[in-house]
C-alpha cells in the first residue's frame, strides 16, 4: 500500500527521485526475489534493484505512477465496465494513450516524459503522494491549491452518506 506525501523536485534531466519508501513496490524482481527479510535499509535501494513504473495522465492535472501489475488491474477494472458507454471508451483511450513505461534506476530516479510534465504543469518542485495503488505526482503549487480547501470532516460525512446510499442500492448524488 502506497501512502504519505513527499516533497521533491526534478533535476535538469527531468528525473525525479521516487521516494525510497515506494521503491520496493516498483521493484520488478518483487519480494520473492529478496525474501522480504533482506530489505534495504530505509532510504537505500538494494544493489540488484530493477524498478519500472507506468506513468499516465491523472484526472486532476497530476500524473499517476503505477506498478506494472497495478496498472494492469486498474485497466482491467475499467474494461469490465460497459464498452458501449462512450465515456468509458474515452476514459480508457485517455489512459492507454498517455501511458508510458518508465524505468527507475538504481538511485531511485525516474524520468518524467515531456508530454506528462507539460500536462501536469511540472517545472521543478513536486509533491509526490501515495494513494493506495498508485503514486500521484503533482506540481507542488498545483497540489497545494488543490488541497487548500479540503475539509476532512465534511468529506467524512459525505463518504458516510455515500456508503449508506450505495448499500441501499442508490448511487452518488
Query: Residue 48 and residue 166: Cα distance in Å, rounded?
Result: 46
Alpha helices in the chain (DSSP H): 20-23, 30-34, 68-79, 86-98, 114-120, 140-147, 152-167
Nine cell digits for residue 93:
483511450
Q: What's the domain range around 126?
A: 2-167
**pLDDT beyond 90 at 30:** no
* pLDDT tens-digit series, residues 43-82: 567 677 889 999 999 999 999 999 999 999 999 999 999 9
Q: What is the pTM of this model?
A: 0.86
The number of distinct structural domains making up the chain is: 1
Looking up residue 89, the CATH number of its domain turns out to be 3.40.1550.20
89: in domain: yes
The reported pLDDT for the residue numbered 172 is 60
79: in domain: yes
Amino acid at each position: 500500500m502506497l501512502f504519505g506525501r513527499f516533497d521533491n523536485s526534478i533535476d535538469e534531466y527531468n528525473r525525479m527521485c521516487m521516494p525510497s519508501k515506494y521503491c520496493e513496490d516498483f521493484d520488478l524482481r518483487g519480494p520473492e526475489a529478496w525474501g522480504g527479510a533482506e530489505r534495504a535499509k530505509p532510504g537505500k535501494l538494494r544493489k540488484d534493484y530493477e524498478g519500472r513504473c507506468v506513468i499516465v495522465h491523472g484526472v486532476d492535472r497530476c500524473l499517476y505512477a503505477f506498478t506494472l501489475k497495478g496498472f494492469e488491474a486498474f485497466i482491467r477494472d475499467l474494461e469490465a465496465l460497459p464498452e458501449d458507454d462512450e465515456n468509458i471508451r474515452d476514459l480508457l483511450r485517455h489512459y492507454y494513450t498517455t501511458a508510458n513505461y518508465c524505468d527507475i534506476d538504481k538511485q531511485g530516479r525516474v524520468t518524467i516524459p515531456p508530454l506528462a510534465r507539460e500536462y501536469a504543469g511540472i517545472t521543478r518542485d513536486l509533491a509526490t503522494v501515495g494513494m493506495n495503488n498508485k503514486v500521484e505526482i503533482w506540481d507542488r503549487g498545483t497540489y497545494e491549491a488543490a488541497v487548500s480547501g479540503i475539509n476532512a470532516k465534511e468529506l467524512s460525512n459525505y463518504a458516510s452518506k455515500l456508503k449508506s446510499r450505495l448499500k441501499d442500492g442508490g448511487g452518488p448524488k
